[in-house]
Amino acid sequence: MLITRRAAAKTFLVGSAGLIGGLSMIPISDRRHIVTLSFDDGFEKSSIKTAEIYEKYGLSASINVIASAHEKQFELPNEYHHWPVGDFKLWNELKRRGHEIMPHSYKHVNLAELPFKEAQNLILKCLDIFTRELDGFVTKESIYNFAYNASTPELEEWIRPQVKAFRTGGGAVNPLPYKGMKKLTCASHGPENIDLYLDNTINEFLKGSSGWLIFNTHGLDDEGWGPMSSRFLDELLDRITRSDTVEMLSVSQALDVL
């Protein structure tokens, strides 16, 4: 079982080495920073590797999966989804190991482009599958992660009472978690490898005032849109566990640390 909540909060090593050699030097400060990497789409190989790397450092990964992606009739939304995905046997195993498994749509369509009732129905179908298939899943304790980080004010207003929180597009930096926090925004990057971009994003974030950075990632190495290398993720988490300046938390852990 992984360490949870504040016991899982580790820190980000800053200094002349940067993250992957020779990048910017970030001064240590007493400002509070939280970083969350939010992994979408549920690629099987990437999810297993992500979990293993997080476990190496006693951390809990945020993995968001498409509810019907493992079914035979699932239609790929684009070329960035052609890698094998996990099923709920895997998601239940990773959840038992301490990772956060949350919904990332029913079939990965842009709900902002659909009529409200149709979009609403797809969200409900997604949540229904999670309720049936994921052990211990409770809708009101879940974080719904919009596909393409695309929502509408009407959908956001409707989903607020349904879930603990929801993630959509917007700026990467959120306020520090507070009681009743519902709307979480994130940034992403692609379709190429994101190692350098994410490194720079984190470095810039640490120069600023207190806040919570949520960065939407996808697969590792060669999988998905805007993949991160597993080597970079390993090095990043290694540095996070060596400092006292940044907390690396899953979404649920961050919302529980008030």
CA–CA distance, 195 with 193 (Å, rounded to integer): 6
Q: Would you state the pLDDT for residue 12? A: 35
SS3 72: coil
Q: Would you state the pLDDT for residue 193? A: 97
Q: Would you state the pLDDT for residue 17? A: 36
CA–CA distance, 137 with 133 (Å, rounded to integer): 8
Q: Would you state the pLDDT for residue 2? A: 52
CB 160 within 8 A of CB 153: no
Q: Would you state the pLDDT for residue 73? A: 77
Architecture of domain 37-184+217-228: Alpha-Beta Barrel (3.20)
Q: Would you state the pLDDT for residue 176? A: 96
Q: Would you state the pLDDT for residue 11? A: 37
Q: Would you state the pLDDT for residue 258? A: 62
Local confidence pLDDT in tens for the 258 residues of the chain:
454 333 444 433 333 234 444 333 333 445 789 999 999 999 999 999 999 999 999 999 999 999 986 777 767 676 767 668 899 999 999 999 999 999 999 999 999 999 999 999 999 999 999 999 999 999 999 999 999 999 999 999 999 999 999 999 999 999 999 999 999 999 999 999 999 999 999 999 988 999 999 999 999 999 999 999 999 999 999 987 787 888 999 999 999 976
How many CB atoms sit inside 10 A of residue 79's CB?
8
CA–CA distance, 208 with 5 (Å, rounded to integer): 24
First to last CA, the chain: 23
Listed by start position, the domains of the chain span 37-184+217-228
